Amino acid sequence: MAPVRLRRLNRWQVDSLREDLADLYVESRATAPGDPYRRPSRQDFLNRLTTDMRRPGFAMVIAEMDRLMGCAFGFPVRDDGSWWLGFEGPLPRSIEQLTVSCSVFAFADIMIRPHPQDRGLARRVQARLLTDHQASLGTTLVDRADRPTLAALHSWGWMDVGELRRPAGPTTFRALVFPVGERTTARMDGLVTMPGGGGSGGA
């Protein structure tokens, strides 16, 4: 089997791959029979990608062999704490400190094509994007009703730290973090909550 290559894309390259990325989104988000959760459509994904590409610091890493195998993209979290607006309860102090020090990177999406080695590939793509930005912590928000995505993220090393609801929308999100390195992981110790629970308070 050919090795998987990781590659950082600029905005022009991302724009030229929009349809391939949309195909990857659809395949990676295939709904299991009986799953009541209605995922955003292909066009919803493309609209969100267009919005995210305009954000300061936007970055994308793709994994490819003979075709696109995976992708992660996002942007740096601002040091004013606005990313955490609507977090239920007090934001854990360690996360607040990393945010203020501009060490947190927000993942807008992580898409991995179903594959026997998808867990290892997801970890590689996530780590590469964070390393490129010299970030100590990744973060993402997932609709708490989207149980398959939450399960996948947990299997890829993400930790659940609480719930968040944006003032302008009805969706309740699970807030997850992905620490880089032993030092950051140690700072997260004791913060992780099980899905369905609330925030764990200050650290």
Model pLDDT for residues 133-188, shown as the tens digit of each residue: 999 999 999 999 998 899 999 999 899 999 999 888 888 999 999 998 666 666 66
Is 96 inside a domain boundary?
A: yes
Residue 199 has what pLDDT?
A: 37
Q: What is the CATH number of the domain that holds 158?
A: 3.40.630.30
The token duo for 126 is: 């996530």
Residue 186 has what pLDDT?
A: 64
> What would the mean pLDDT of 194-198 be, rounded to a whole number?
42
The set of residues, in sequence order, having a beta carbon less than 8 Å from that of 201 and lying 6+ positions away, is 89, 90, 92
Is 203 inside a domain boundary?
A: no
> What would the mean pLDDT of 90-104 be, rounded to a whole number?
93
The token duo for 114 is: 């179903």
**Residue, of 43 and 114, whose pLDDT is higher:** 43
Torsion angles phi and psi, residue 126, rounded to 5: -60, -50
Buried b / exposed e across 114-124, counting CB within 10 Å, b at 16+?
Answer: ebeebeebbeb
pLDDT at 195 over 50: no
Is 68 inside a domain boundary?
A: yes
Is 193 inside a domain boundary?
A: no
Distances (CA, A) of 26 to 16, 37, 40, 42, 83: 18, 14, 10, 6, 27
> What would the mean pLDDT of 120-139 be, rounded to a whole number?
93
Is 118 inside a domain boundary?
A: yes
Give the separation between CA 193 and CA 69, rounded to whole angstroms. Answer: 31
The token duo for 91 is: 């934001």
Strand, coil or helix: what is 201?
A: coil
Strand, coil or helix: what is 117?
A: coil
Residue 197 has what pLDDT?
A: 41
Give the tens place of pLDDT for each residue, 4-37: 899 999 999 999 999 999 999 999 887 666 677 7
Range of the structural domain that residue 101 is part of: 5-188
pLDDT at 198 over 80: no
Residue 194 has what pLDDT?
A: 44
Strand, coil or helix: what is 135?
A: coil
Buried b / exposed e across 31-64, counting CB within 10 Å, b at 16+?
Answer: eeeeeeeebeeeeebeeebeebbeeeebbbbbbe
User: Which of 120, 117, 7, 16 has the alpha carbon at shortest distance from 73?
Assistant: 7
Calculate the average pLDDT of the chain. 86
Residue 173 has what pLDDT?
A: 96
The token duo for 76 is: 């740096």
**Residue, of 120 and 107, whose pLDDT is higher:** 107
Is 10 inside a domain boundary?
A: yes
Is 125 inside a domain boundary?
A: yes
What's the number of domains the chain is made of?
A: 1
Give the tens place of pLDDT for each residue, 33-82: 667 777 889 999 999 999 999 999 999 999 998 889 999 999 999 999 99
Is 148 inside a domain boundary?
A: yes
